[in-house]
Every structure is written in structure tokens, then in C-alpha cells.
Structure 1
Amino acid sequence: MFEELDTLFQSPTIKPSFEKVHVILALFIFEENKDGIGRYRLQKELLIGSGTARSLIKKLNEIINFITVLDDENKKKGHVLTKNGMNFLKRIKQKIPLIEGGDPSELEDIIIKSEGFNPCFCLIRNASNKITNGIEQRDAAIKIGGVGATCLIFNGRDLIFPSQIISENEKDQMRVANTTFNYIVNLFDKKNSQLEENDVVIIGLDENPEKARLAALNAALTIL
């Protein structure tokens, strides 16, 4: 799915210090900023260094032609998605239609010590068969610097925690409470992203909201 990005990481000398999650999140950010976004803003959004941001922008522009400099004399210069970039992101969003921050106070029944942390939701379409127990996704979130990640599966009726074996007595314990479920559904509805059977919801967590977003997306990439 990400073959077009492979050339970004090819180098005869030093391997780029950005990762695939930074590239994909950058495309989401460029789409959100249709008036253009500059290197310094992108650096803060992705939590990367100045040199890394410069390298990422240069490669996205010159190697795979996913972004270009905004050509508008009346606006401050910044980069925007090209047609190639928009088409690639469109394919990504067929699988990941939503990356959105949330309210930690609404998630106290599913996230231990949610106070002081920022959750970020990532919706992945039709990926429940790629989830086992959520440990791989949690590890991916931690690897990118987040505190962790929680995975939920929509079975067509409820959001449940992933488990390969669930007895009848355990089913209620694996189900997310109605108040939390309704909060998530309403949050997604506001972004025109309704839950569908076999969808996966990943909640990245960190004190820093940008890092929580990276954690959620990096966890999501493990099941694509």
C-alpha cells in the first residue's frame, strides 16, 4: 500500500531520520492546510528536528512530487499537496478516514490514568481480522514516543476489546460501556465517519497531543 514511499527512504549515505508515520501524517496535515504550510509549522506538528523537516519536504517535493510550493503572490509561501499527493492520500483515507483528538474525561472506563493525558482516535476500516490482542499496536505507539495505545473492535453492535478467546461470562467485561461508546460514535459522526462492522478504533495516548496523534497513527499502520 505504501510502495510509492519506498524511494523516500533510499539513500547511498545516511538513512532519513523520519519514518513512514511522519510521511503519512504530513500528508494529512498538508490536506488540512490548503493555504499552505511551512517547514517550521510542520516541524512542530510532527515533533521532528529542523533538518529532518527540511529533508522530508524536499523529498516529498522533488522525489515523489506529492507537494509543491503554493503559487500565490497574495499569501505567505508554504507547501500544498499536488494532484499526486491528493490521490495517494485519498487511497490512505479509504482505510484511515479519521485521525482526531478526544476528551480524556470521556474515556476513564477504558484508559487507566487518563487524567493529564491527551487521547487521539484513529479509525481503520475493516481491519478487525488483523488484530490479535493489541500488544503489537501498543508497542508501535510506544516506539514512536507515545505512552501507549488502546485498540477496540466494532462488531456491528458494540465496541469490544480485542481477544481471540472470549467466554460467555467474559463478553460483558470486554464490551465498552454505553456512555463511552456513545461519545465515540458522536465524535466520529461530527467528522462524517460512521462506524462500520469490523472497523478498528485505536486510541493513542500521551501528555503531548501531537505525540498522541503520532502514537495512534503508528499503531494503525501495523494493521495496514
Structure 2
Amino acid sequence: MKIMDIPAFGPMFRFTDANVYYALYVLSDGKRIGRKKLAEEAGVGEGSMRRILDKFREWNFVQIKQTGISITKAGLVFLDQIPVRLIDVDLQGSVVGDFTQGVIVYGASSKIVNGMQQRDAGIKAGAEGCTTIVIRDGKLMIPPDWNMDEQTPELAYKIRKDTGITADDVIIVGGGSSKIAAVEAVLNAAFELV
């Protein structure tokens, strides 16, 4: 999935679609925030944030005032149309990294083979590790063959209850040395499926 096209010529972009999505996600809480703080939260420099905000303003996704930046209804609608949601999932030490972040990708389970593609996409984006979870034949699985319902039934129950995962969905949990590293990793892995 591509949110923002990168031009063939001109200055090099120092951000990914994960940073763009996360900037909108940070704004989705409805609070105003300054550009510098938003750049820090999204894991990009201020110059990159200016470029992202220029596009957001062009698309009518944000309002920028002296009191800060806020998301518009159009920005919220766009964010809601992307079949990806950040979630909190604790895999109880099963993911490498000091910080972890989960994401649920709706309707993408048929694209999962063994979870290696998602792990590789996450590591390429800076993760220390990524774990993929799907439902196969009614069982919560870490592909290709780790049956969470049998091996860790309490954790499997908690994941089902907390996330609402269905047989069509995928959960990816990434770990990194920082919160933004984990976020970028899972979002980049998720966007490979969308």
C-alpha cells in the first residue's frame, strides 16, 4: 500500500508510509499538537514533517493554526478506510525488543504463508523481531505450526478477547529498541499485506 508517492526527482524523502500513517494516527486523538512534537512522535525530522503536513493540508486532512495541528473529518475518514489498526498486544516476552507494538490487518489472512515475509519486512524497517498471528481451522496460530490455543491457552484467550481477531485478520507484533522503531516495523509489515 502506498499513502504518499515519492517523486522520481528532487530531494530524497526521509520517511515512509508508516511515518505518514502514524502522524495521522497521533492526530486522531483530537488534540492539537505542535509540528516539532508531531515530528518526534512520528519518528521523522522537522523538514520531513513539513513535507508530510504540506500534503496533509493539500488533501484537507489537517488544520494548521498557531495553537497547533489538528486532524479534520476528511483525515479521520481516510485513516478509517485503511484496514490497519494499531493495538496493544502483550506476547509475554515472545517478541524480541525493549518495546513492542501490535497491529491488526483486517481481511489479509489469506496472504499469510509462514509469517517470514512479515518478519523480514519488519526487520528491514528496523525491528528486532516480528511475530505474525492468524486463525487457521479455528485455532490461533503463529505460522507455520505453533498452536497458541494448545501451547499458551491463557494468552490465546486474552489475544482473542482483547483484539477481536477473526479468521480473516492478521495480527503482527513487532519489537524494537524504541517505541517508534516497533511502530514503524509493524506498520511497514502490515502495509505489505494491504
Q: Distance in 1 between matches of 2:80 and 2:137?
A: 25
Shift of 1:203: 0.3
| Equivalent of residue 51 in structure 1, options 37, 42, 47 | 47
Shift of 1:19: 1.3
Return the match for 2:167 from 186, 197, 200. 197
Q: Which protein is richer in helix relative to its size?
A: 1
Q: How many angstroms apart in 2 are the aligned matches of 1:186 and 1:128?
A: 18
Match of residue 59 from structure 2: 64
Unaligned runs of 5+ in 1: 71-75, 164-172, 189-193
Q: What percent identity do the matched residue pairs reach?
A: 28
1:125 partnered with 2:125: no
Structure 1 Cα separation of the partners of residues 22 and 107 of structure 2: 20
Contact preservation (8 Å) 2:19, 2:43: no
Aligned partner of 1:187 among 162, 166, 170: 162
- Aligned pair in 2 of structure 1 residues 64, 11: CA closer, same or farther (>3 Å)? farther
Give 3-state SS (helix, strand or coil) of 2:44's partner.
coil
Whole-angstrom distance in 2 between the partners of 1:37 and 1:156: 45
Structure 2: gaps of 5 or more residues? none
Runs of 4+ in structure 1 off by over 3 angstroms are: none
Alignment partner of 1:25 is 2:22: yes
- Report how far residue 156 of structure 1 moved: 6.4
Aligned residues of 1:134 and 1:150 also touching (Cα < 8 A): yes
Shift of 1:12: 4.3
For residues 192-215 of structure 1, the C-alpha deviation after alignment (integer angstroms, 9 at most, x for no partner) is xx1211211100111312211111
Counterpart-to-counterpart distance in 2, 1:196 and 1:122: 14
Q: What secondary structure is seen at the aligned counterpart in 1 of 2:143?
A: coil
* Cα deviation digits, residues 136-181 of structure 1 (max 9, x gap): 2112212222212111112363211223xxxxxxxxx521121221
CA contact (8 A) 1:158 1:181 kept: no
Question: Equivalents in 1 of 2:114, 2:122: separation in Å?
Answer: 14
Pick the structure with more strand per residue: 2
TM-score (norm 2): 0.86
CA drift of 1:11 comes to 6.4
The structure having more radius of gyration, on CA atoms, is 1
Q: Shift of residue 16 of structure 1?
A: 2.2
1:66 maps to a residue whose letter is F
- Whether contact under 8 Å (2:23, 2:38) holds in the other structure is yes
Does 2:169 correspond to 1:207? no
